[in-house]
Amino acid sequence: MIELTDMAVERLTQIFRVLGDPTRVRLLHALTVRERSVGHLALELGVSQSAVSHQLRLLRGARIVRPRRAGRSIYYALDDKHVLALFREGLRHALEDGGKAGR
């Protein structure tokens, strides 16, 4: 079993806190398919590039996404396979049979 240190608790809390926003969840969903530029994400989500940049900055600070510069453009991707697994498992749980929710 993994030791639950104070540092681990703080980092995990930060991850879940950052994930608790609808726009950031939509950004992550888009990034589960492939990396995208800020401009592409803004078009896809229907929000401004500055709003996307702000949300990506928060996700980057929590090590959930990583940037890649290509010329003047910056592309973002999920940081690693753990983030993808966390997102997919969370989504699966959210989409489970709703009959269990009332218990």
Average pLDDT (15-22) is 94
Q: Which CATH class, in words, describes the domain spanning 6-100?
A: mainly alpha
Entry pTM: 0.87
- For residue 19, give the nearest of 93, 96, 75, 73 by alpha carbon: 93
Confidence of residue 12 (pLDDT cuts 50, 70, 90): very high
Distance CA 66, CA 24 (A): 14
Average pLDDT (22-35) is 96
pLDDT at 74 > cutoff 90: yes
pLDDT at 103 > cutoff 80: no
Domain boundaries, the chain: 6-100
